[in-house]
Chains A and B, each alone.
Chain A
Amino acid sequence: MSYSLIIAETRKGEFQEGNFDPLYLSDIVGLPSYILLPEGEYGILRGSCDKVIVAPLKEGEFLNPLNIIRLLERTFQAFGEPSAILLPHCSFGIDVAPYVAGRLGWPIITDISGFCRGEEGEIFIKTLYSEKINGHFRLKEGMRFVGTVRKGVFPKVAEVVKETLFEEAPSIEKDPRRDFIEYIEEEIEDVDITKADLLVSVGRGVKEKGNIPLFEELAALLGGVLSCSRPVADRAWLPKARQVGTSGKTVRPKVYFALGISGAFQHIAGMKDSDVIIAVNKDPSAPIFQYAHYGVVEDMHRLAQKMIENLRDQK
């Protein structure tokens, strides 16, 4: 019987939570699951998958598409060819999955956030157009593909308890054409947005740098801290340390007050555990309204002006 091969991410030796979504998707599809990992101890996986295959590679050598493809060739020889190669949709998954697909000549679907089975066969769901649309994708030539899976979308299939075998992957000669050198941490920051009770957070809707002071004033009058989405930090309108999201900070304030942010999952992942989320957007179909507790359909500049006036009056 065929199986799905999950290529898992570790960072600094830590098994990443995002690996569970490809594992659960594999259970939902109904394939035995083998997990391929770099050197390390993975007792926590006992019972959750059919095989744990540990590669004789250090993390820095393993998290490298050029070495992974060599490892896959040897793994296929040892364990047979899988029908799905699944990875978490993260910095590792998007580095490795497309390269592997190109080398193997297999189709690729990234950022899978849903699966269903019906008359039309097996359907994988992926968001399109900044999460405003769900695309239903079908593999033309049946189940043989490379996929990356969005974090936190697939539930554990409760009844699955497996007898996990631990195996070692065959050794490979490393590809000399790409080398990991070192990890680098982000430099020192200005304010620590993870400590604030109230974050006033602006997105691309702020439109230009000249509008930042208005929202700075609003945050100050409310006694909160100003944070932002990625495009605002990319343009250096606010320091990178203020960016909320997967590639920025994960925050959990009492109130997250988002203005002009559309609600991409990379942003949502960084703020979804806030006690209360209030979103202001001029577009009533903005995906952020799906995640917010309170929504206001309004021009953020007009609203901020008015709030500032009211707050000044009260002082």
Chain B
Amino acid sequence: MEVVVLAKWVPTTQEEELKIIDEGRSVDLEEVPFRMNEWDTYAIEEAVRIVKEHGGVGWVISMGSEDADTALRRGIAMGLERGVLLETEEDLIDPFQRAFIFKNLLQKKGIKFDLLLTGGQAEDDEFASTGGVLAGLLEVPYASMVIGIEEISGGEITLLRELEGGLMERVKMALPAVVSIQTGINEPRYVSVTGVLSAAKKERDFLSAADFMEGAKGLLQLIRVEIPPPKEGAEIIGGDLDGKVSGILNILKEKGVYK
């Protein structure tokens, strides 16, 4: 089995107050810490398990600035063997364009896969699209938001897709295929900082994304970013800690849920 995982190095903005710069065209990420996209950590874990069970080689591929090498090193520390970084300083936001670059990479470098895994979505742009577009471009089967891989045998994969409200569907697909992974599918193994550091000794391929742009047109343009205009919003309960506590308790009493 050749298993390829696409893994993105993303800004962790969940706890940050964001600033808009560049005359409204971009978000200031200078001070924001980056990490492996949550969904991709689950995809890597799944790939490591598949390769362990079925043999073969696991790849991790990332596209981004040179910092995204950390995504390769994390993937390798978790148990994948090969790493490829497509370096670019450009902010390639269009998922169609990104998928096209990945297609060019796979084809030009002769990287053949039985299974290509992506995360269900990237935390930063949340397009949930890159893997599906890539599958379409390669004309191979695709299934998204996979929450269980039950069996791989005889050139087929049986999997569970997550639907809404606790419902799932069981699907069978022919390999090679592209699958996007939903969080919670497994328990990603812990890797230590030293594990990630020592993965730096492993050979990786550093390529320039610019060499794989043929036909990869950007069809979508991000012309402006803004802080969402406030809706009605919450009434803020301020004061010191005691004041906040009694404020909350008063509401609970008023609503009759706490006596």
Give the interface of A toward B (CB within 8 A): 11, 60, 63, 65-66, 69, 90-91, 94-95, 97-104, 106-111, 120, 123, 126-141, 145, 175-186, 197-198, 204, 222-224, 230-231, 233-236, 240, 246-250, 253-255, 257, 262, 275-279, 282-285, 287, 289-298, 302-303, 306-307, 310
Interface size on B, residues (CB 8 A): 93
Assuming the contacts A278-B248, A310-B245, asked whether A137 and B223 have C-beta atoms less than 8 A apart, the reply is yes
User: What residues on A are CB-neighbors of B233 within 8 Å?
Assistant: 289-290, 295
> What is the CA–CA distance of A298 and B38 in the complex, to the nearest angstrom?
25
| Contact indicator B257/A224 (Cβ below 8 Å) | yes
Binds A, one of B66-74, B104-112, B236-244: B236-244
| Contact indicator B219/A107 (Cβ below 8 Å) | yes
User: What residues on B are CB-neighbors of A183 within 8 Å?
Assistant: 163, 167-170
Assuming the contacts A99-B135, A176-B174, A294-B237, asked whether A120 and B223 have C-beta atoms less than 8 A apart, the reply is yes
Taking each of A136, A224, A297, which has the highest tally of chain B beta carbons within 10 Å of its own beta carbon? A136
| Other contacts beyond A90-B164, A129-B27: 4, CB < 8 A | A128-B27, A134-B228, A222-B258, A223-B259
| Contact indicator B244/A102 (Cβ below 8 Å) | no
| Contact indicator B11/A254 (Cβ below 8 Å) | no
Question: Is B64 interfacial (CB 8 A cutoff)?
Answer: no
> What is the CA–CA distance of A207 and B126 in the complex, to the nearest angstrom?
23
| Contact indicator A109/B220 (Cβ below 8 Å) | yes
What's the least CB distance linking A39 to chain B, in Å? Answer: 18
| Contact indicator B136/A255 (Cβ below 8 Å) | no
Taking each of A131, A231, A247, which has the highest tally of chain B beta carbons within 10 Å of its own beta carbon? A247
What's the least CB distance linking A128 to chain B, in Å? Answer: 6
| Contact indicator B126/A127 (Cβ below 8 Å) | yes
User: What residues on A are CB-neighbors of B37 within 8 Å?
Assistant: none
| Contact indicator B169/A108 (Cβ below 8 Å) | no
User: What residues on A are CB-neighbors of B160 within 8 Å?
Assistant: 184
Q: How many A-B residue pairs have CB under 8 A?
A: 308
| Contact indicator B252/A255 (Cβ below 8 Å) | yes
Question: Is B54 interfacial (CB 8 A cutoff)?
Answer: no
User: What residues on B are CB-neighbors of A139 within 8 Å?
Assistant: 219-221
27 sample A-B contacts, Cβ–Cβ < 8 Å, listed by A number: A94-B132, A95-B145, A98-B131, A99-B132, A100-B136, A101-B133, A102-B133, A102-B137, A106-B219, A127-B126, A132-B16, A132-B18, A134-B227, A140-B220, A145-B219, A176-B174, A183-B168, A186-B166, A222-B258, A231-B183, A240-B166, A255-B255, A279-B234, A283-B14, A296-B236, A303-B245, A306-B245
Instruction: Enumerate the 10 nearest inter-chain pairs by beta-carbon distance, A residue then B residue, closest first.
Output: A102-B136, A98-B132, A295-B234, A107-B219, A186-B166, A234-B184, A102-B133, A98-B129, A198-B257, A292-B234
Interface SS of chain A: mixed
Our pick among B217, B225, B231, B245 for the contact of A133 (Cβ within 8 Å) is B225
